[in-house]
Amino acid sequence: MRGLILAILPVLMLGACAQPQTSAFDAHQRFRNSVESRELTASFAASELGSADRAALRDMAREYTRRGAAPVAVSGPGADQVAGVLRAYGVPADKLVVKTAEGPATTVAVPVWVAVVPDCGRWDQDLTSDFANQNTDNFGCAVTRNIGLMVSDPADLVRARDTSGRDANRAADVLGKYGQGKATSSAAETNSTGTLSSVGK
């Protein structure tokens, strides 16, 4: 019996030292923002577009430019006219699917990305006596949720944007100065005010 106890004791000691699952304390794994596609839809009468209609189309074009997920679908008797207004407000022609059809109104459907954020506010955990030395249930949730609510294009949460080009004029200026052995840094501003500290001199 004593030998059995001595054999089991090291196993229990090793089990006590086992590392917990990373998701138990890593807020980036416990709370995640996801992204899904939804449609912004609006209908416009077959007659001439009014100022309110054009304002609505302007807002839809702005949303597509900011967080568009797929081509804009325009269908109805005034599809060509509505598509022309959307192009004027910045929607590329190759991102419009136009279908002229009979009906009482022209429908516009704009697929956009929407961030799905985690729900925070779990207060069922006793914070006065926690011997597990782990993060609380809400730790990191507010940060993740706020990022999802503030991001301009929710698709940025799941994919990286293409890199932008560099300033060719600045690059040519720096390389030219470098070849001539001149300083490549920008000139100091002459209109700035302030004094440098003399402490330690």
What are the residues whose beta carbons fall under 8 Å from the beta carbon of 66, sequence distance 6 or more? Answer: 152, 153
- pLDDT at position 184 is 84
Cβ pair 107, 42 in contact under 8 A: yes
Between strands 105-116 and 34-45, the pairing is: antiparallel
The span from the CA of 144 to the CA of 147, in Å, is: 5
> Side-chain half-sphere of 97: how many Cα atoms within 13 Å?
9
- pLDDT at position 149 is 93
Boundaries of every domain in the chain: 37-116
Closest C-alpha among 83, 44, 43 to residue 64: 83
Residues of the chain with pLDDT under 50: none
- pLDDT at position 163 is 75
- pLDDT at position 121 is 83
- End-to-end, the C-alpha distance of the chain in Å comes to 77
The span from the CA of 100 to the CA of 87, in Å, is: 16
The span from the CA of 91 to the CA of 150, in Å, is: 24
Cβ pair 110, 63 in contact under 8 A: yes
Torsions phi, psi for 105 (to 5 deg):
-150, 165
What are the residues whose beta carbons fall under 8 Å from the beta carbon of 132, sequence distance 6 or more? Answer: none
Q: For domain 37-116, give the fold.
A: 60s Ribosomal Protein L30; Chain: A; (3.30.1330)
Q: How far is CA 101 from each of CA 43, 46, 97, 134, 140, rounded to the nearest angstrom?
A: 14, 11, 13, 61, 51
